[in-house]
Chains A and B, each alone.
Chain A
Amino acid sequence: MVREIDLELRAGEILTLLGASGCGKTTTLRIAIGLERCSGGRLVYAGETVDCPEERRFVPPESRDMGMVFQSYAVWPHMSVYENVAFPLKARGFSKGEIADRVAEALELVGLPGLQERGGTQLSGGQQQRVAIARALAFQPRILLMDEPFSNLDTRLREQMRTDLRLLQQRLGLSILFVTHDQGEALALSDRVAVMHQGRIEQIGSPRDVYSRPATPFVRDFIGTALRLNGTLRGRTEHQATVALADGTALTVGGSIHLDPARKDGPVLLTIRLEDLTLHKEVRESAPNVVPAHIRALLFLGDHQEAMAELPDGTVATIKVPSNVDWSVGDRILIELPAASIQLWPAEPAP
């Protein structure tokens, strides 16, 4: 279900709609191509209004000239690869010779030459995926819409397809509207990411922005993992704040502050990305922004180790440490929280 969306797909970019299932991302995509109609508002494609209930205007999907790749691939089982890819060209009345050229070109593009006569169902998942993309690209649309296209592939193939798609998009200068629930995919692939929640866009920005500077608590919790600490606000200036933890440790906050500007005290929530934390063995009493902890468990994973560090308030943080660090369970350590990486939020009621 989609409540309110204000979104612009710019020429030559990959814009990803990211969100949990049921957040409205697929519906947004289906409205974009006209498989579903919006109940209000306006959808403009290349300067032309294609869906606007107030003006009783609706351009059906077959006339929108956008390519679409479905989650299930939707490769027609009763047609060969060639017939599948040729279909959009036949529907547009291309000549026989031109169809043959363009099909060959499209299959070449997705790396599937020589499989033209194969039946639609005699293909592996990855091949069906490529046929679906070739079919969507065959008539050379300016826009490609992709609905969770990689979710049915195994991990290795998914990463391969991700790279291939990025290269293809750059080569053809395509604009792609991409839907996924996989944040890694969204961050790796996109020029911009729109994080959706309950039918609205929570935040839209570059992958780096969305990851490092979440604008709302939802985006903060949805993307990546963060260490959360409860504290009390002790004082603040325009760009900095001082917060005391339960055991009295004082921390300086230099990252984004998502608090009412008038607030000067009261309970707050600190968050910091786990990868921004640094662990220290030797105790330097005077060092700023450090929290004592002790190691509860240590997992050796080959190229790195995972240390589970318990803080005085009982919070456990799983932190990567190099594999050559020689610690053991029970050791007392210090966790350093760089001020610039800490973000400050209003306190949340305990779940």
Chain B
Amino acid sequence: MLIALLLLAPIFELVLASFTFDAAASGADRFANWRESFSDPRIVGATLNTISLSLGRQAISLLIGVFIAWLIARTNLPARGWIEVGFWIALFMPALPLVLAWILVFGMINAGLQAVFPTMDAALDIYSWWGIVWVHLVTSTIAVKVFLVVPAFKAIDSSLEEAARTSGASLWATFGQISLPLIIPTLLVVTIVGLVRSMQAFEVELVLGAPIDLEVYSTVIYRAMSQEPPLTGQATTLSIALLLAVAPLVYLQERMARRRRAGALSGRFSNRVQNLGRARWPLFFMVAGLLAVMTVVPMVLLMMATFMKVFGIFDLANPWTLDNWTAAFLRGDIVRALVNTLKLGFSAAAIGMILFTGLAYAALHWRGRARQVLDFVTWVPALVPGVILSLGLLLMFSGVPFLRPLYGTMTVLVVAILFSTITIGTQLTKGGLAQLGAELEEAGRACGASFFFRIRRIVLPLIAPTIAVVGLEIFATANAAVGIVSLLSTGVTEPLSLLQLNLLNAGKLESAAVVGIVIATLTIGSALLARSIATRTGVGRYAR
């Protein structure tokens, strides 16, 4: 119950604030904030942008992602195992460093084109609707689709496809008429998850939308809070509106996911793959090329950018320099931010590993009401966009008297990271515990072992790999998190991700690139470590 209160407190604070701050402060008109917010034409524009960006991203990424997932799971695409790992890495590519890399790539392409056709205007503009969609697609939106859909395709009994082939259907007709319809339930869930995530997107829009006044919901909230004085009333009303818009989608997804689990396949199962024939190698090069565009290309260019005198300008007499790196480490702010990020990552991981294991154990062993409440509260943070959670926590830590001393400390950031990882962390650990089965622990009980002895000597050693994976996931999240910590950090506690955001906003792109490389290295490193633990021990494979 205490945990439930703690988890729901930020949301409660939001609702409260929307009726008490700013226009509603006098108490005369409690709904003033609501009315003002929704008569503002900027908000209407942001709503439309949020919707169109979300739908655009999802439509394109579904088409591409599902096709690639099918290639990986159901065909003899060369090196499909490695390609799957590649998309898994792409899933962890931190958004902000990649935004920077793509600004550079677009600039280079434009410069190249103008060198050939001097009269031409800049052909590609990254500061645009399509620019935002593109960066989202190549950072994680396609990778998420691949990641979530591959297991569904792998679960198809290949005799269902072979029966179609022997019935006279071609490879492509089999894909369209058999394989694809069979995973429709998964596709619906994946689409909804994608829509929810799109509506929560923050940092890409913040950086690429600003120059052209393209606002989305989350950036409007962020700007309302980061101006002086902050427009708390407007920010909170918008937050609640967005929550209400997202909630039914999350509910729908939960229900579908549950129903899907019930209808498991049975009988003899074979997973032979379909032969792509002549299309095999061309498709391999297409997919591998896309993967390179999503991972290697931006990383290499970002690395190059850190050694450039002026970001993106190659035609200086000598464009290369080491100054950015030396300056970065001499200036002290990067070192301090790195220390902050590591502190944040390690403390959140350490606390999260203990906390989520406890929650997962409780969720499996409690019965009745208590369990339902627990399930619910560990799901709620998944539906709250990062910026809004950040706002809620800000209000909580500045509004509740006994929490106020913590405001501006690292503790607040750790709490924020724990909030944003509680759902995935608990789910993963629950999966690990459920796999164990109750009998192993009951056997310990039958042998006369006490509760703590059982936990220490039986349960923990057996799920240690799962817990390690959870820890690394938390660490990776802490490294790359922007939205969730955006409103909570003060200068002293500023982690790398926010330093990069500020450098970007200040136009110091070379230094931002240096920070981006550091973030990407930490994130991808811990993600790879998690993957290798997970595959070697076979736990939590598809739970993310």
Contact = CB atoms under 8 A, between A and B. Distances in A.
**Chains A and B belong together in one complex:** yes
Interface in B156-193: 157, 159-160, 162-170, 173, 177-178, 181-182, 184
Contact of B268 (A63, A65, A152): A152
A61 B165 contact: yes
A112 to B, nearest CB: 17
A69 B542 CA distance: 33
A72 B267 contact: yes
A196 to B, nearest CB: 19
Contacts of A72: 157, 159, 267-270
Contacts of B164: 76, 87, 91
Interface in B263-290: 267-270, 272, 277
Interface string A87-110: 110011000000000000000000
B160 A74 contact: yes
Contacts of B170: 60, 62
Nearest to B168: A91
A34 B165 CA distance: 9
A88 B162 CA distance: 12
Nearest to A139: B168
Interface residues of A, number: 30
Given A62-B169, A88-B168, A152-B267, A76 B162 contact: no
A307 interface: no
Contacts of A9: none
A43 to B, nearest CB: 15
A11 interface: no
A208 B184 CA distance: 51
B159 A70 contact: yes
A1 to B, nearest CB: 15
B168 A35 contact: no
**Residue of B157, B163, B181 with most partner-chain A CB within 10 A:** B163
A71 interface: yes
B175 to A, nearest CB: 13
A342 interface: no
A177 interface: no
Contact of A62 (B159, B165, B178, B268): B165
Contacts of B159: 70-72, 74
A87 B177 CA distance: 10
A67 B270 CA distance: 20
Contacts of A60: 165, 170, 277
Given A72-B157, A76-B182, A91-B169, A135 B163 contact: yes
Given A78-B181, A78-B182, A78-B184, A35 B163 contact: no
Interface residues of B, number: 24
A74 B168 contact: no
A132 B173 CA distance: 19
**Residue of A33, A72, A73 with most partner-chain B CB within 10 A:** A72
Dominant SS among interface residues on chain A: loop
Contacts of A34: 165
Contacts of B268: 71-72, 152
Interface string A51-92: 000000000111111111011111011100000000110011
Interface string B218-249: 00000000000000000000000000000000
Given A62-B170, A71-B268, A91-B173, A76 B165 contact: no
Nearest to A35: B162
Contacts of B169: 62, 87-88, 91
A88 B160 CA distance: 13
Nearest to B170: A62
A67 B267 contact: no
Contacts of A92: 168
Contacts of A135: 163, 167
B166 A68 contact: yes
Contacts of A66: 166
Interface in B122-176: 157, 159-160, 162-170, 173
B165 A74 contact: no
**Residue of B166, B177, B178, B269 with most partner-chain A CB within 10 A:** B166
A62 B163 contact: no
Given A76-B178, A88-B168, A70 B163 contact: yes
A171 B160 CA distance: 28
Contact of B182 (A64, A73, A77, A145): A77
B182 A61 contact: no
A64 B169 CA distance: 11
A62 B166 contact: yes
B166 A33 contact: yes
Nearest to A121: B263
Contact of B163 (A64, A65, A76): A76
Nearest to B178: A76
B162 A74 contact: yes
A70 B161 CA distance: 11
A293 B168 CA distance: 62
A330 B177 CA distance: 69
Interface in A116-149: 132, 135-136, 139, 145
Nearest to B184: A78
A132 B164 CA distance: 11
**Residue of B159, B182, B184 with most partner-chain A CB within 10 A:** B159
A173 to B, nearest CB: 21
6 closest residue pairs by CB, A with B: A88-B167, A91-B168, A74-B163, A74-B159, A68-B166, A70-B159
Interface of A: 33-35, 60-68, 70-74, 76-78, 87-88, 91-92, 132, 135-136, 139, 145, 152
20 contacts: A34-B165, A35-B165, A35-B166, A60-B277, A62-B168, A62-B169, A64-B166, A67-B166, A68-B162, A70-B159, A70-B162, A72-B159, A74-B157, A76-B160, A76-B164, A78-B184, A87-B169, A87-B177, A88-B168, A91-B167
